[in-house]
Structure 1
Amino acid sequence: MKDGSAPRRTEQDQLFFEDLEVGMRVSGRERQLMQGDFQAFSALTGDAHPIHYDEAYASQTSFGRCVAHGLLLTGLAALGASPISGRLHASMVAFVWQEMRFLKPVFIGDRVTPEHEVHSLHEMHGKPHGRVRFIVRLHEQARGIVAEGHHDYLLRTRVGAGA
């Protein structure tokens, strides 16, 4: 929009619990990680371990160079950072659980892309929402999957949302 505000979402483009199916996948936007990203995350969180920003220190580790913070990667893999997020505004109740495994290091200059796949849907009888588990994978352009895990969300049903 010209004024910089977010586009208004219509009822038709919103997704609710019962609209999701096991196996549905959505990929997020590719992002190239830069040294400034590592520094900003360190400043925000207070995690000032030199392995994330000091090339001389990092060169003496088994990684040989600076590596991304695990929680920075977890944040980049959040469903809220994906294109589907805008279609869940009317149904999102809460992000309730997450677990990630870091399989390979991510370095300055790497390009990562998150992928979310609906793994399971659990109706919560008597509740206006259900629980959805997404398998989350973070792909690095040249080295494949560098992190994987799952995120659980509570999403409203159409009845629960009054839709």
Structure 2
Amino acid sequence: MVSPLPPVYETNRLVPQRGFADLVVGERFPLPSRTLGDANFAAFQAVSLDNHPIHYDAEYCRALGHPGPLAHGLQVLCFTAAGAGTFPHAVGESLVGMIEVRARILKSAYPGDTLYPCLEISELKPQRTTGVVTMRATVDNQRGERVLDGEHVYLLKL
């Protein structure tokens, strides 16, 4: 495949580019761990406009029996963004885009929790001119408890 990108980009790739046929079910793409802090909560609140006190008012949360504000489920899902890891760099220009996302929130995440997200290829479906990559998206906390379980689905050119 001839890249439309400038040569300087080719020499600065994070990982070698691979095509759909080079991907393997079970291949893992770990993402950077994140320790939730006030800045994470404030940034998500600013982007989402969610103003429910369960996500930002520590006293309100303690009155309800929580140790602190709960991270919004969509905030936890954000930590599974493939662009934080190497998957989109590995598939390069063959990536058309994300076509589906699903997630189940299994446990609450609080300030101070460290989250460990990972993507793992669970299914590869070749089509005529494209291929569909399904990836299991998981987030575990510092105690090894599963906080989120979901899927990302991507469309790639063959």
The reply to whether TM is greater than 0.5 is yes
- Please state if 1:17 is matched with 2:30: no
Residues of 2 paired with 1:115 and 1:55: CA distance?
A: 29
- Please state if 1:107 is matched with 2:101: no
5+ residue gaps, structure 2 = 1-7
Q: Which residue of 1 aligns with 2:137?
A: 136
Question: Contact conserved, 1:63 with 1:105, CA < 8 A, in 2?
Answer: no
Q: Deviations over 1:23-51 (max 9, x none)?
A: 11121111111011111110111111111
The total of aligned residue pairs comes to 149
TM alignment of 1:45-124, pairs within 5 A? 45-124=48-127
In the TM superposition, residue 21 of structure 1 has moved relative to its aligned partner by 0.9
Question: Contact conserved, 1:23 with 1:118, CA < 8 A, in 2?
Answer: yes
| TM-score, scaled relative to structure 2 | 0.86
- Please state if 1:35 is matched with 2:67: no
Residues of 2 paired with 1:74 and 1:21: CA distance?
A: 24
Residue aligned with 1:154, SS: strand
Residues of 2 paired with 1:9 and 1:70: CA distance?
A: 37
Residue aligned with 1:99, SS: strand
Residue aligned with 1:104, SS: coil
Residue aligned with 2:120, SS: strand
| RMSD (Å) for aligned C-alpha atoms | 1.8
| TM-score, scaled relative to structure 1 | 0.84
TM alignment of 1:145-160, pairs within 5 A? 145-157=146-158
**After TM superposition, what 4+ stretches of structure 1 lie above 3 angstroms from structure 2?**
9-12
